[in-house]
Chains A and B, each alone.
Chain A
Amino acid sequence: MEQFLNKETNRNRIPVAYWFVLPAMLFFALLAVYPSGYVAFLSVFAGAKGTAISPEFTNFSNYIAVFNSRNLVQILMQTGFYAGVATLLHLALGFLIALLLNVLPLNITFTRLTRTAFLIPWAISPTVVAIMFRLLLHPQVGPIAIMLKQTGYAGVFGPLGDPDWALIAVTLTNVWTFTPFYFLMLLSAMQAIDPVLFEAAVVDGANGRQQILHITLPSIKNTVLTLAIFDFVTTAAYFDLTWIMTQGGPINRSEILSTWVYRTAFQSFEFGKASAIGMILFAVSIMFTIIVLRAMDKE
C-alpha cells in the first residue's frame, strides 16, 4: 500500500483513489448487495416455514401464495393511500412553509424561531413520535378525547382503534413527522436560485405571484420531482410509525406492505413468502422510479 500512496504520477492516480474508496465499497457489496441477492434467492427457493432452502425448485410457490392472498389488493391500496397522501402533503406543506419563510420579509426572530420549531422533529425518534400520538389520540387518557368529552361530545374519540380512521391517523402522523425534512430540502433549493433572475423580473414589472409561477416553480421543478420519487418509494416501505401505532390493525385496515413483510417474516416465520412480498415492493418502487424519471426526461 505504501508504494501506491507515495507515488503521485498520473499512472498511479487511479489506484490511490481506489484504495481510499475500496473499504466502504466492499462494505456495501458485502452487506447491501449480497443480502439483496440473498433475499431474491430466498423468495424463490425458501420453503414454507423458516429459512430452510427446499431441495428442489419451488415453482415460485411463494410468489403464487402472495398473489393468491385475500389481502393483497387491500394492502396495496392502503400502501398507495399512505405513501401517496403523505408524499403529496409533505411536498405541498413543505413548499408552503418554505415559500412563506423564504420570500416574505417577515420578522427575523419570528422566522428563526419557527424554522427551529419545524426542524426539531428531525431529531426526535419516530418511536417517541408514535408513542406521543398514541397517547394524544387515546380514547381515555388522550387530551383530545378529554376535551371533546368536556364540550359534550357523546361518542368515543379513538381514531387508532377505529377501522375507518386508523390509516388516516397514521398517515397524518407521518405527514407531521416528515414534512420538516421536505421543507428543509425545498428551502435550500429555493435559496439556490440565482437572485439575478428575480431582479430582472422586478425590472420587467413582474409581481410576486408571477415571480413564483415563472421563476421559483420552474427552477425547483426537478428537485420537487426527485424528492417526490424518493418520498413515495421510502414511505411505501416505511415501517416504524405504523407498527408502533396500530401494528397494521384494527382488522388489517392500516396494514401496508412493510408491516405485512414484517408480520410474515418475524411473526409467522415464512421468510420465503416475506421475501417475495418484499421483492414485489422493491419491483414496484423501481418501476415507479423509472416511469417518473422517463416523464421528466421527455419534458
Chain B
Amino acid sequence: MYVNQIPRWVRILAYIIISLLATIYVLPYLWMVMSSFRPSSYPFAMGIFPRTWTIQNYINTINNAVFMGSFVNSFIVAGSAAVLTLLFGIPAGYGFARFKFRGSNFMMGFLIVVRTFPGILLAIALFVMAVKLDLYDTHIPLIVANTLLNLPFAIWNLRTVFAATSRELEESAMVEGCNRLQSLIRILLPITLPGLASTFAFVFILSWNEYLFATTFISTAEKRLISTTMASAIGQFNVDYALLISAAILSTIPMIVLFLLIQRYIIKGLAMGSIKG
C-alpha cells in the first residue's frame, strides 16, 4: 500500500498498539510454559512465579499411561483422517483444477456451504449412525468426521496446488502413453509434494485439535484423544495443574512446529478460498 507521508506520532502509536496486542497474545503462553516447570511442592495459589524450577512435570506426563495412550490415539486418528482426506481430495482437487464441467461451480460453492453447517447437528446424525452400525466408542466415526470437516478446505487448497502446475508436462506424458490417472500419479504428485504435504499437515493439526466429535463418539477412557483427556482432567476435583499444563504443552508444540513449516502454503490457500468464495 502506498502512503506518502505518515506523521511520526501515527507510527509510534502503531508500534504501541501492535506491541500491546502481541503482549496479550504472548503472555498467556509464557505463563503456561513457566508454570509447567513449577515443582509440585509449591502450589499455584502461593504465588505467580515458581521459586525453583523442575522438569519433573514433563517426566511425570511421559510416564503417565493415560496421557501417553491419548497421544497415541490422537496420532492414529489425525494421521488416518489426513490420509483419507488426501485420498478423496487429490482426485477431486485435480478434477476441479483441470476440467470445466457442468456443475463444477455449483460443487465448489457447495463445499463452502458445507462448512457453515452446524457441527453439533452433524454430531447428532453421525452419533445415531455410529450407534446403529455398532461403531460407537471406536475411532472410525471420529476419523470419518474429521475427514468430512476438513475435506472442503483440502479440495480448495489442492485445486490451487494443481492449477499452478503446467499442463504441458502432463500433456507430454500423455503423448508418451500415460492416461490421465497415470500422469496424475507419476508426473504431478511428485512435483506438487510440498502442497500435498502442507495439506496433510493442515488436516493433521485440525484433527489433532478437534474436540466436539472426540467427546461425542468416545466413552472409554483408554480410547480418548488427548484433547478430550485434557478437557475431562480439568473438570475433575483435585487436578494436578502442573501435570495438565505440561501435557498441554507437549500436545501443542508439535502442532506449532508443523504450522510454522506450512504457514506459507496454507495462508495462500485460505486467501484463495475466502476471497474467491
Binding site for B on A (CB under 8 A): 2, 5-6, 8, 13-14, 16-21, 23-25, 27-28, 31-32, 35-36, 38-39, 42, 51, 93, 96-97, 100-106, 110, 113-114, 116-128, 130-136, 140-141, 143, 146-147, 176, 180, 184-185, 188-190, 192-193, 195, 198-199, 201-202, 207-208, 211, 216, 223, 226-227, 230, 233-234, 237, 239-240, 243-244, 258, 261-262, 265-266, 271, 274-275, 278-279, 281-282, 285, 289
Beyond A125-B252, A131-B248, A134-B234, 7 additional contacts (C-beta under 8 Å) are A20-B91, A35-B129, A100-B18, A105-B6, A118-B22, A124-B209, A201-B2
Given contacts A125-B209, A223-B275, contact A117 B22 (CB under 8 A): yes
Cα separation A38 to B121 with both chains bound (whole Å) = 10
* 25 A-B interface contacts by CB (under 8 A): A13-B99, A18-B101, A20-B95, A25-B92, A32-B122, A35-B126, A42-B125, A117-B25, A122-B259, A123-B252, A124-B209, A126-B209, A127-B230, A128-B252, A131-B234, A131-B248, A135-B35, A136-B28, A146-B47, A188-B275, A190-B1, A202-B4, A230-B116, A243-B211, A281-B120
* B19 interface residue (CB < 8 Å to A): yes
**Chain B, Cβ-Cβ closest to A279:** B121
Which B residues touch A126, using CB under 8 A? 209, 211
The reply to whether A100 and B14 form a contact with Cβ atoms under 8 Å apart is yes
The reply to whether B11 and A20 form a contact with Cβ atoms under 8 Å apart is no
Cα separation A31 to B123 with both chains bound (whole Å) = 11
Given contacts A36-B125, A285-B116, contact A188 B271 (CB under 8 A): yes
The reply to whether A131 and B244 form a contact with Cβ atoms under 8 Å apart is yes
Which B residues touch A28, using CB under 8 A? 110, 114, 148, 151
Given contacts A122-B259, A132-B32, contact A271 B234 (CB under 8 A): no
| Contact of B15 (CB < 8 Å), options: A21, A93, A110, A230 | A110
Which A residues touch B47, using CB under 8 A? 146
Expressed in whole angstroms, the minimum distance between the Cβ of A125 and any Cβ of chain B is 3
Given contacts A97-B21, A100-B14, A136-B31, contact A244 B121 (CB under 8 A): no
The reply to whether A133 and B121 form a contact with Cβ atoms under 8 Å apart is no
The reply to whether B25 and A118 form a contact with Cβ atoms under 8 Å apart is yes
Expressed in whole angstroms, the minimum distance between the Cβ of B267 and any Cβ of chain A is 6
| Contact of B88 (CB < 8 Å), options: A17, A27, A198, A281 | A27
* B160 interface residue (CB < 8 Å to A): no
* B60 interface residue (CB < 8 Å to A): no
* B195 interface residue (CB < 8 Å to A): no
| Contact of B3 (CB < 8 Å), options: A36, A208, A227 | A208
The reply to whether A124 and B255 form a contact with Cβ atoms under 8 Å apart is yes
* B221 interface residue (CB < 8 Å to A): no
Given contacts A20-B91, A146-B47, contact A278 B2 (CB under 8 A): no
Binding site for A on B (CB under 8 A): 1-6, 10-11, 14-15, 17-19, 21-22, 24-26, 28-29, 31-32, 35, 43-45, 47-48, 87-89, 91-92, 94-96, 98-99, 101-102, 104, 107, 110, 114-129, 131, 144, 147-148, 151, 155, 174, 179-181, 205, 208-212, 215-216, 227-228, 230-231, 234, 241, 244-245, 248, 251-252, 255-256, 258-260, 263, 267, 270-271, 274-275, 277
Cα separation A101 to B17 with both chains bound (whole Å) = 11
Main secondary structure of the interface of A (DSSP, over half): helix
The reply to whether B255 and A211 form a contact with Cβ atoms under 8 Å apart is no
The reply to whether A176 and B24 form a contact with Cβ atoms under 8 Å apart is yes
Given contacts A125-B208, A193-B1, contact A261 B121 (CB under 8 A): yes
Which B residues touch A110, using CB under 8 A? 15, 18
Which A residues touch B21, using CB under 8 A? 93, 97, 114, 118
**Chain A, Cβ-Cβ closest to B171:** A8
Which B residues touch A21, using CB under 8 A? 91-92, 95-96, 104, 107
Given contacts A20-B91, A100-B18, A134-B234, contact A36 B117 (CB under 8 A): yes
Given contacts A117-B22, A131-B248, A275-B121, contact A106 B11 (CB under 8 A): yes
Which B residues touch A96, using CB under 8 A? 17
Cα separation A286 to B167 with both chains bound (whole Å) = 40
Which A residues touch B87, using CB under 8 A? 23
The reply to whether A125 and B251 form a contact with Cβ atoms under 8 Å apart is yes
Which B residues touch A128, using CB under 8 A? 230, 248, 251-252
**Chain B, Cβ-Cβ closest to A229:** B116
